[in-house]
């Protein structure tokens, strides 16, 4: 049964700013971004190339630090933690799906899904990974390597890996960008089904308006600002 988004923010940012040096001088990639995303909500981040979408996602996930501003996942302020502290929060509460899949070529589908569980010290990693792959329809493919899988199958492995630890937030950066429309639609169906069934907050960057329209809410970005 689909869960309604909760009222408590699971993800919050205040004054989030990212500046970088360049030969032309200092560039502002992200400018004073504020947002709150509730538990169980699905949110699309839209905007032209260079608008700052992927930078925002990276900062919200604690993969990078802002020049200024603060980020919270649940009760933890990511921007107050060192790299080890941010990594620990990500391991417990965050999942990722990328356009280019980011699977380890030398590992089977099962081993790719087991990887984050093993890094987190889970004793039941193999059984959990097997169940996650069966949930995304890849039970017969657990022993296959990424090169033996289609693009859609590789993205389903990535989704199984992202959801296997039951994260509170899943970040997806152009999750259907490398797939044809039919395969992309199936991958999107899977993301939204898992979002609904598990109550996992879904934050996705996309150029696809059809995909964005399936989300509870849309955030438009341009020139580093949330409009």
The pLDDT value recorded for residue 181 is 86
DSSP tag of 176: T
**Domain CATH for 48:** 3.40.50.300
3-state SS, residue 208: coil
Place of tokens 């964005």: 212
The tally of domains found in the chain comes to 1
- How far is Cα 183 from Cα 155, in angstroms, rounded to an integer? 10
pLDDT tens per residue across span 19-31: 999 898 999 999 9
The pLDDT value recorded for residue 52 is 92
For the chain, the average pLDDT equals 91
33, part of any domain: yes
The pLDDT value recorded for residue 208 is 87
Which residue in 37, 39, 30, 36 sits closest to 5, CA to CA?
Answer: 39
Least confident of 31-40, 104-113, 186-195, 209-218: 186-195
The pLDDT value recorded for residue 24 is 86
pLDDT band at 1 (very low <50, low <70, confident <90, very high): very low
218, part of any domain: yes
Residue 2 has pLDDT above 80, yes or no: no
- How far is Cα 208 from Cα 46, in angstroms, rounded to an integer? 8
103, part of any domain: yes
**What does the block give as tokens for 50?**
């260079």
177, part of any domain: yes
pLDDT tens per residue across span 99-152: 888 899 999 999 999 998 988 888 899 999 999 999 899 999 999 999 999 999
CA distances from 205 to 70, 112, 155, 175, 181 (A): 20, 23, 16, 8, 17
2, part of any domain: no
Q: What is the mean pLDDT of residues 60-81?
A: 94
3-state SS, residue 69: strand
Give residue 210's domain range. 9-226
- How far is Cα 116 from Cα 144, in angstroms, rounded to an integer? 18
3-state SS, residue 172: strand
The pLDDT value recorded for residue 180 is 87
Which residue in 89, 166, 162, 130 sits closest to 175, CA to CA?
Answer: 162
- How far is Cα 97 from Cα 174, in angstroms, rounded to an integer? 8
DSSP tag of 147: G
Q: What is the mean pLDDT of residues 197-216?
A: 92
- Which H or E run contains 18? strand 9-22
pLDDT band at 5 (very low <50, low <70, confident <90, very high): low
202, part of any domain: yes
The pLDDT value recorded for residue 20 is 92
4, part of any domain: no
The pLDDT value recorded for residue 6 is 56
pLDDT band at 3 (very low <50, low <70, confident <90, very high): very low
- How far is Cα 146 from Cα 151, in angstroms, rounded to an integer? 9
Asked if 223 and 47 touch (Cβ cutoff 8 Å), the reply is: no
**What does the block give as tokens for 62?**
């604690």
Angle (deg, nearest 10), helices 151-163 and 109-119: 20
Residue 183 has pLDDT above 90, yes or no: no
Query: What percent of the chain is predicted at pLDDT more than 90?
Result: 64
Q: What is the mean pLDDT of residues 44-70?
A: 93
73, part of any domain: yes
The pLDDT value recorded for residue 98 is 85
């Amino acid at each position: 049964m689909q869960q309604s988004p909760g009222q408590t923010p699971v993800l919050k940012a205040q004054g989030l700013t990212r500046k970088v040096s360049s030969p032309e001088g200092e560039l502002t990639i992200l400018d004073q971004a504020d947002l709150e995303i509730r538990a169980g909500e699905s949110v699309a981040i839209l905007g032209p190339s260079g608008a700052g979408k992927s930078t925002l996602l990276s900062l919200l996930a604690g993969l990078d630090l802002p020049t200024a501003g603060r980020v919270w996942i649940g009760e933890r302020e990511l921007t107050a933690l060192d790299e080890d502290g941010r990594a620990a929060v990500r391991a417990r509460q965050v999942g990722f799906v990328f356009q280019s899949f980011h699977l380890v070529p030398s590992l089977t589908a099962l081993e790719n899904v087991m990887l984050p569980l093993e890094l987190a010290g889970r004793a039941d990693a193999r059984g959990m990974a097997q169940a996650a792959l069966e949930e995304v329809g890849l039970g017969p493919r657990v022993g296959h390597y990424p090169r033996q899988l289609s693009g859609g199958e590789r993205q389903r492995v990535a989704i199984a890996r992202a959801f296997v630890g039951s994260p509170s937030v899943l970040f997806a950066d152009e999750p259907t960008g490398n797939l044809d429309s039919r395969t992309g639609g199936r991958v999107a169906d899977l993301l939204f089904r898992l979002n609904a069934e598990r109550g996992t907050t879904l934050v996705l960057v996309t150029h696809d308006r059809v995909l964005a329209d399936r989300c509870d809410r849309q955030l438009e970005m341009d020139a580093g600002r949330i409009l």
